[in-house]
Amino acid sequence: MLVCLALFAINAPPIYRDTLEHVLASLFYVHNAIYSRGSTLNGVTWSLEIEVQFYIVAPLLAMLFLSIRNTVVRRGVLIAAIYGCALFTQKILWATQMEAVKMSLAAYLQYFLAGFLLADLYQSGALKRANWTWDVLGLAGATMTLLTMMYWRGPLYCALPFLVLAFYCGAFRGPLLQRIFTTRPIVIIGGMCYTIYLYHVAVISVFKPIMRGLASPNAPLWVDLGIQAAVFVPLILLICSVLFVYTEKPFMGKPFWKRSRAT
C-alpha cells in the first residue's frame, strides 16, 4: 500500500488528508467496512480484507468442524451450510443496501466452507483414486463456473461453490487435469498468483502511456486487446516475479531468525 501511495503521489500530487485516511484504513484491513468499497489506492485488496476476516474466525470454524466426528453428519452440515450461506447472499444480502456487509465475509463464507469440505474429502482419502471420471467432473465444474459467472449468475449462484469444488476435486485427482496443473510453469505462476493479482493494476497504471499509444480506435477489439496483452502480460509477469521473490517468498518459510545458516 505504501508503494501504491508513492506511485499515487508521483502521478497525482498533492496528497490530501483523506488520501492518508484511506491508506490507514487499507493498512489495517478495514477499508471495506469503513468506506463500503475497495481501497482507493489498490482496489483489488478488497478481497484481502475478506481473507483476514476469515483468518480471524477460522479457529472457531475449525473447532466446530472437528467437534462433529461422524463423517456423514459433518459433510452434510457443511453442504447445508454452504448452500444456506449462498442462498442468504443471493436472496437477502444482495437485496439490501448494506454495501459494507456485501464486501465482508458474510457474503463469501460459502466459498471458504467449500474449502473446508475439500480439505475433509482430501484428508479422509475420498479423493485417493485417480481416474478419468475426475477429469470429466473437473472440466464440467470449470465450464459451469465460467458460464454461471458470465451469464447465469442469478439462477445458479447457489450452486457456484459446489461447481468450484468439483473443479478442484478434478484438479487433484483427474489424470489429465493433474498433469496440466502440476507442470512447472503453471506451478510457478500459480505460486505467484496473489502477487500478480495485487500488483498488476499498479503495473498497468505506471505504463498507461504505453498502453494508450498501442490502442487504436480503428482496430477490432480482439486485435487491440491481443497487441496490448502481448506487451503487458510479459511485463506484468516480469515485474511481479521480482516482487514475489523479494516481498512474498521470504515470508513463506520459517522466520529468518529461526533458520540455520545451512539453509
Per-residue pLDDT of the chain (263 residues; tens, 9 = 90+): 887 787 777 766 666 666 788 888 999 999 999 999 888 888 889 999 999 999 999 999 888 888 998 999 999 999 999 999 999 998 888 888 889 999 999 999 999 999 999 999 988 888 877 889 999 999 999 999 999 888 876 667 889 999 999 999 999 999 999 999 999 999 999 999 999 999 898 888 888 777 777 777 777 888 888 888 888 899 999 999 999 998 888 888 776 666 655 55
**Per-residue confidence (pLDDT) for residue 92, from 0 to 100:** 87
Give the predicted TM-score (pTM) of the model.
Answer: 0.83
Residue that is written with C-alpha cell 464486501 in the block? 103
> What are 45's three cell numbers?
485488496
- CA–CA separation, 174 and 133 (whole Å): 7
**Per-residue confidence (pLDDT) for residue 94, from 0 to 100:** 81
- CA–CA separation, 36 and 221 (whole Å): 33
Q: Provide the CA 228 distance to its chain's centre, in angstroms.
A: 24
| 155-160 own/partner pairs: CB under 8 Å, 24+ apart | 157/86, 157/89, 157/90, 158/83, 158/86, 158/87, 158/90, 159/86, 160/86
**Per-residue confidence (pLDDT) for residue 16, from 0 to 100:** 63
**Per-residue confidence (pLDDT) for residue 19, from 0 to 100:** 77
**Per-residue confidence (pLDDT) for residue 260, from 0 to 100:** 58
Q: Where are the domains of the chain?
A: 1-67, 72-176, 184-258
Residue that is written with C-alpha cell 447445508 in the block? 80
What are the angstrom distances between the C-alpha of 198 and each of 46, 112, 249? Answer: 10, 20, 14
